Amino acid sequence: SGESGAGKTESTKFLLQHIMNLCKGNSQLEQRILQVNPLLEAFGNAQTVMNDNSSRFGKYIQLRFQNNTVRGAKLSEYLLEKSRVVQQDAGERNFHIFYYMFAGLSSEQKEIYGLLDPSLYRYINGEFGTKEVAEHWMHKYQEVCNALDMVGFQEQEQVDMQAILAGVLSLGNVTFEAQESYGPVKLSAASRGWLKAAAVTLVFCPCSPVSPSVSCCCSLCADARDSIAKVAYGRVFGWIVCKINELLAENVDPGVELREIGILDIFGFENFAVNRFEQLCINLANEQLQHFFNHHIFQLEQAAYKEEGLPWETVTFNNNESVLNLLLAKPFGVLSLLDEQSAFPQATDKTFVDKLNSTFKGNSHFHPPRSCLLDFTIVHYAGKVQYTASGFLEKNRDTLPANVRGLFISSVTPLLIPLHIHHEPRPTLARVKCEHEAPILHIWQCFGLMDCWSSSCQHSLTVLMERMYSANPHFVRCIKPNSQKEPGVLDSQVVLQQLRYNGLLETIRIRRDGFSWRPSFEEFAER
């Protein structure tokens, strides 16, 4: 764990290499475990203002052993930042794979996929890179191709995958315009070519004509467009993870007991100039990991000393339980209130912020906006973070329009067909009962079954933490040396700040004053 850019992913790779070396690993399985990283980084990492190779998802790698030999592995992924596909802030990029494709595909291949000059595509902000950067991306694209072959993707599957990515980019250039005030919306003239390219590469409903206009506002049409792009990309990423797990699955008798080492590499704490819904989810995950750390290092450790009757002066630490209660409490935590507001069609980002202000008035971990702006501040274990609430409700609803679900189901691309399975409604929302029930149902009928992202986030983190608490944990704390992404520079103030909020100064004290070596009575007597 550690801040974004502190070196968690690189440390994970070194740790995997070290474990494979200890196993004297030279088998095909062990080499495959090491070689899936380029694939995961290409599709799951992106450049941010804090880190040029930032993980935009969390991964938990389970290595399974028999007689000190790796017999299999399993990868679990958490909370892929799909919104990055359709929007990036200044100084940031989309997922690496889009740039790798432009640099690595030949002119003939680009023509097959309908790819034009990268400067034309809105989803990558019309940006590419210098000649040196493009050469680096070309090399990375070749690494990805090698990894796809190694993982076991068939040639047609690789073609389908890249066609979908090209289709997503084309889809981003589709725009809409109102024919008249409050009238039907039509496709802009400049978008027809882009829509055709997207439909061909995504292989949607080849027999269905495109409706020239629909009775809907431009913003809802744009939301539907972006929903298709995010879901399609998420499906590609999930598909890759499934194929990796098929490749790395252990081939042993089910009755054989295997030991396990799990490695969690998850996105680091983030505090940007503009912090959105994604940063709230990421920082929630880090709050939970910090609480897990505190529980093991401080609470369990000191409880053991008291139980043994040892003379011990209690070490105090910064307990972040109150911050977690602020975020997760039901029915009046930040995420519960967000789900509640998301269920009402009349609710807006402003009504959500107003609800937070009234609910958490006087809470030391919540600061209301100083002006009428749509923002609020949460005092996390790592410091204050100001969140921009604009877009919170839309991202949390994560709605896939019903007719769009039909497009995926009827697609002739096998990769896209199972999408509808992953968007079943959550039973918690179905139980909402109030005087607004009819409008809620009406919205579901018009725009598909709503799937609150915060509920999905909480569920994923609950499953993850259950795994953590059932294990014997070892903590690797990654410390960021400076905020400028510069090598060989150590900023003592930046380092000290991290040592303080991570609780490492208190950890040093408890390790120094405590009992680090604990043999069993049998070991002691034998010695």
Nearest to 94 by CA among 61, 121, 114, 120: 121
Residue 216 confidence (pLDDT): 60
Reported as a single tens digit per residue, the pLDDT across 411-459 is 767 677 654 444 433 333 333 333 333 333 333 333 344 457 888 888 8
119 marked among binding-site residues:
no
Instruction: Burial-class residue 490 by CB neighbours within 10 Å (0-12, 13-18, 19+).
Output: exposed
Residue 212 reports pLDDT greater than 70: no
Residue 411 confidence (pLDDT): 72
Reported as a single tens digit per residue, the pLDDT across 466-484 is 989 999 999 999 999 999 9
| Cα–Cα dist 397/48, whole Å | 25
Catalytic residue numbers read: 4-5, 9, 51, 54-55, 268, 270
* Residue 366: band (very low, low, confident or very high) from pLDDT cuts 50, 70, 90: very high
Per-chain mean pLDDT for the chain: 86
- Using the structure block, give the residue that is written with the tokens 């998802």: 57
Residue 390 reports pLDDT greater than 90: yes
What is the torsional sign of CA 209, 394, 227, 441?
negative
Give the residue-averaged pLDDT of 122-134.
86
6 marked among binding-site residues:
yes
| Cα–Cα dist 237/507, whole Å | 38
Q: Which long-range contacts (CB under 8 A, 24 or more apart) does 109-112 make?
A: none
Residue 401 reports pLDDT greater than 50: yes
Asked whether the whole model's pTM tops 0.75, one would answer yes
3 marked among binding-site residues:
yes
Residue 456 confidence (pLDDT): 82
The residue among 384 and 407 whose pLDDT is bigger is: 384
Reported as a single tens digit per residue, the pLDDT across 29-54 is 888 888 899 999 999 999 999 999 99
From residue 296, give the alpha-carbon distance in Å to each of 261, 369, 421, 505, 519. 18, 36, 38, 15, 19
8 marked among binding-site residues:
yes
Specify the DSSP element, H or E, that contains 185: strand 185-187
Give the residue-averaged pLDDT of 92-100.
96
Nearest to 166 by CA among 207, 225, 118: 118
Domains in the chain (CATH in brackets) are 8-268 (1.20.120.720), 277-396+490-526 (1.20.58.530)
Residue pair 150/241 in contact by the 8 Å Cβ criterion: no
* Residue 101: band (very low, low, confident or very high) from pLDDT cuts 50, 70, 90: very high
Alpha helices in 73-191 (DSSP H): 96-104, 107-113, 131-151, 155-171
Reported as a single tens digit per residue, the pLDDT across 282-321 is 999 999 999 999 999 999 999 999 998 999 999 999 999 9
